[in-house]
Amino acid sequence: MNSEAVLAPFVASSMVGERAQVNIDLGDRSYPIIIDRGLLQDPKAWDGLPPGHLALIVTNTVVVDLYAASLKQALASQYDRVEVCVLPDGEEHKNWQTLQMIFDHLVDDGADRRTVVFALGGGVVGDMTGFAAACYMRGVPFVQIPTTLLSQVDSSVGGKTAINHPRAKNMVGAFYQPLRVVCDLDTLDTLPAREFSAGLAEIIKYGPIADPVFFEWLEANIDALMSRHTQTLRIAVQRSCEIKAWVVACDERESGLREILNFGHTFGHAIEAGMGYGNWLHGEAVAAGMVMAADLSVRLLGLSSTYRDRLVRLLERAQLPVQGPLLKPQREQSVEDYLRWMRSDKKALAGDIRFVVLADWGKAITRKAPESLVCDTLNACCA
């Protein structure tokens, strides 16, 4: 743990400007997160990466047609050969079979220890590519180029990589940091509205867990964000990355503080897995899960319900779900199902489910909760 890392206060007016860079401080594995428009085509965004004969771009069937050509052209000046590996699209493909496609490509392309792997896509591509890079030859360098809002503000930062197990989300993976994260805001122009909202869920998350001033700013600026106003987006992405960089610098391998980033995720992962991967988007499940976690905080820790209600209103304005689904037609069976899924959550210890809850607005902690209270929350927050 690096207890010296501090989070600078949020001052939106000081962030107005051109290219933003947030540094993630992990000693000799430190790296920059670069945030701007036009980065894919900008040679400066790729300067200084390790030289090698081969670069492999890993992307998917949707993103390849949108952005692979620009990236390939930008990298052609630095690498003799730039190959592209195209994965099937979707959370339901975040598994061993798809991971194997990346290894097959690396072997067939003759990749060596100096091959640099570029993850071009959303969190699914980023998580799988990072895991492949961690494993291939016991680790080759990789770069994250997140193209969804969710991946720019969360999944590309901090080195968590994984695939899903059929019975548990993100259960098989590794901590493996990228060399650099390049967030080109231009790529968000093509993102469908539902995916954009899903990304807002992870941005909104940073308020209740760490930064009430940022939450107030989001309340004031949510309409500009929904219309994808450049400067507003840039500030939201930068602040989210600053908070995530601070948490990861304090606790890279999640032995304490980093658990707060899972606010809403214990309930959310149950929704994603229980409804079948891909049916609820990760950000949608996290949105409904955060309402449940805030409701549990009211019941367990006496958090003022005003905060839960403010969270609900902001999520609604971001067009996100604020109630969980019933996982089974009968309410009682649905509650049982939630509990079953949550028992396999990675934070569970010795069979006890642990939740990230709010001790106060802007202060998250991890706690066990009596099953009766969890059931009350599930009954109140699912429809």
Angle at 211 between CA 205 and CA 215, to 5 degrees: 65
Residues in the chain: 383
Note if 205 is an active site residue: no
**Other C-beta atoms within 10 Å of 89: how many?**
18
For residue 46, give both structure tokens.
Answer: 């790729």
Q: Write the CB contacts of 258 (distance below 8 Å, at least 6 apart in sequence).
A: 158, 247, 248, 250, 251, 252
Q: Which does 178 bind (CB under 5 to 8 A by kind): ligand NAD, ligand GLY, none?
A: none
- Give me Rg for the CA atoms of the chain: 20
Q: Report the nearest approach of ligand GLY to the CB of residue 202 (Å).
A: 8
Rule CB under 6 A: say whether 364 interacts with ligand GLY. no
| 258 is an active site residue | yes
Closest CA to 157 of 128, 131, 127: 127
> In the complex, which residue's CB is closest to ligand NAD?
123
Known catalytic residue at 282: yes
Contact 113, 119 (CB under 8 A): no
- The window from 127-135, 154-162, 185-193, 369-377 that contacts ligand GLY (CB under 6 A) reads 154-162
Hey, which residues between 285 and 304 contact ligand NAD (CB under 6 A)? Answer: none
> Which tokens in the block code for residue 161?
């990589």
Per CB under 6 A, the list member of 121, 122, 126, 158 interacting with ligand GLY is 158
Long-range contact pairs involving 217-221 (C-beta distance under 8 Å, separation at least 24): 217/10, 217/12, 218/314, 219/310, 219/314
Which amino acid would we find at residue 258? R
How far is it, in rounded angstroms, from Cα 27 to Cα 22? 15
Among 160, 234, 269, 346, binds ligand GLY (CB under 6 A): 160
Closest separation between CB of residue 219 and ligand NAD, Å?
23
Residue 258 binding result from ligand NAD, ligand GLY, none, given CB thresholds of 5 to 8 Å by partner type: ligand GLY
- Asked if 205 interacts with ligand NAD (CB under 6 A), we say no
Total residues contacting ligand GLY by CB under 6 A comes to: 6
Question: How many residues in the shown chain lie near ligand NAD by CB under 6 A?
Answer: 29
CB of 260 vs ligand GLY, minimal distance in Å: 9
CA distances to 11, 31, 292 from 307, rounded to whole Å, are 22, 35, 12
Nearer to ligand GLY, 262 or 334 (CB): 262
Strands 79-87 and 116-121: unpaired
| Residue whose beta carbon is closest to ligand GLY | 261
User: Would residue 254 show up in a list of annotated catalytic residues for this protein?
Assistant: yes
| Residue 357: its H or E element | strand 354-360
Contact residue for ligand GLY among 37, 93, 258, 354 (CB under 6 A):
258
Residue placing its CB nearer to ligand NAD in the complex, 239 or 310: 239
Sign, CA dihedral 159-164-170-173, equals negative
Nearer to ligand NAD, 124 or 314 (CB): 124
What angle do the packed helices 371-381 and 282-301 form, to 10 degrees? 130
The residue assigned the tokens 């079948």 is: 276
Residues 87-146 that bind ligand NAD (CB under 6 A): 89, 91, 94, 121-125, 127
Binding residues (CB under 6 A) for ligand GLY: these are 154, 158, 160, 258, 261-262
Binding footprint of ligand NAD on the chain (CB under 6 A): 60, 62-63, 66, 89, 91, 94, 121-125, 127, 147-148, 150-151, 154-155, 158, 160, 170, 187, 190-191, 195, 198, 282-283
